[in-house]
Amino acid sequence: MPGNTFGRLFRITTWGESHGPALGAVIDGCPPGVPLTAEDIQHDLERRRPGKALTSPRREPDRVEILSGVFQGVTTGTPISLVVTNRDVRSGDYDELAAVYRPGHADRTYEQKYGIRDWRGGGRSSARETVARVAAGAVARKFLGRHDISVKAYTLALGGVRCKHFDWVEIDRNALFCPDAEIAQAMAARLREVREAGDSIGGIVEICARGCPAGLGEPVFDKLDARLAAALMSIGAVKGVEIGEGFNAAAMLGSENNDPVTLEGYGANHAGGVLGGLSTGMEIIVRVAVKPIPSISKPQLTVTTEGQPVTIQIKGRHDVSAIPRIVPVCEAMVLLVLADFWLHPHPKVTLSS
């Protein structure tokens, strides 16, 4: 099946190219009665925008419009169509890329699959595609908020610079969504360094969901962790996903990794809030590995669409790291997974809008 739809009961379909007229999302299955305004969505879109020139020199004054599904300020249960017009479209920047495949990008794989590609800024494979995810995620956030479920993502590492302390309120105080104020400054310094070198850098983002009742998820293939993994791995720059202890668990003993069961919950959360593919009621903890952005100014070996080996240096405006812009995208994907499972029939979970 074509891959631009995500979710089953809270379902989104996204569309749009980096340099086309607009991008958007249709949200189908959002329950009726949820108060929703363009400002609710705008707030999340702003968090995705390049902050303080740390990582991106671009300005994208994204404005979202709600074209359906909301009447007198609340959702009606019909599909919600969101559109964001592309305003900052200087496709001329990309003209010279029409005839060459950028390393690390999907330029050649798209052409191999489709026989054609919109080469302006990566077209559909551009990170700009995530605007629609964030907009849709904002609707999921409004819905889940009514059930006291919240999702927060933050930067654990940028390149080799890793957080040492964790301060929940610090996350929104710095442009990198980093929970460690001191490390946030070191990360910013690292970013400048990498930019000056004409290179790019990756990092690690952690996502924490709070307030989920036990029992969300659907065994055996649509386990909560399986769906979270798909949701997060579908973000362009993500190369790894882990739940709870994740890869650490590979070297642990059962007696270390098992969480004691208590009356109120669990005596630890090595599991990351998921057992047997179902939420346990504890915090859901997921981490993703973000690769360095493939667009760099340094010379790279590649070939032209005509088959000539060439050296390219990518010009134009490009980010140095997918962090921090990817942080609200990760939040959005987790929100969408949870909203979807919330709507699945749960004999033991009280369903209401």
The answer to whether the beta carbons of residues 284 and 274 sit under 8 Å apart is yes
Of the two residues 112 and 173, which places its CB atom closer to a copy of itself in the complex?
Answer: 112
Of the two residues 152 and 159, which places its CB atom closer to a copy of itself in the complex?
Answer: 159
Hey, what's the torsion of the CAs at 211, 158, 48, 179, to 10 degrees? Answer: 40
- Taking the complex as a whole, the smallest distance from the CB of residue 244 to a copy of itself amounts, in Å, to 6
- Taking the complex as a whole, the smallest distance from the CB of residue 304 to a copy of itself amounts, in Å, to 10
Cis peptide before 324 (omega within 30 of 0): yes
Of the two residues 41 and 201, which places its CB atom closer to a copy of itself in the complex?
Answer: 201
- Taking the complex as a whole, the smallest distance from the CB of residue 171 to a copy of itself amounts, in Å, to 19
- Taking the complex as a whole, the smallest distance from the CB of residue 89 to a copy of itself amounts, in Å, to 13
Of the two residues 47 and 195, which places its CB atom closer to a copy of itself in the complex?
Answer: 195
- Taking the complex as a whole, the smallest distance from the CB of residue 140 to a copy of itself amounts, in Å, to 14
The answer to whether the beta carbons of residues 203 and 159 sit under 8 Å apart is yes
- Taking the complex as a whole, the smallest distance from the CB of residue 185 to a copy of itself amounts, in Å, to 19
Of the two residues 44 and 242, which places its CB atom closer to a copy of itself in the complex?
Answer: 242
The answer to whether the beta carbons of residues 210 and 155 sit under 8 Å apart is no
Identify the H or E element spanning 206: strand 203-210
Of the two residues 37 and 173, which places its CB atom closer to a copy of itself in the complex?
Answer: 37
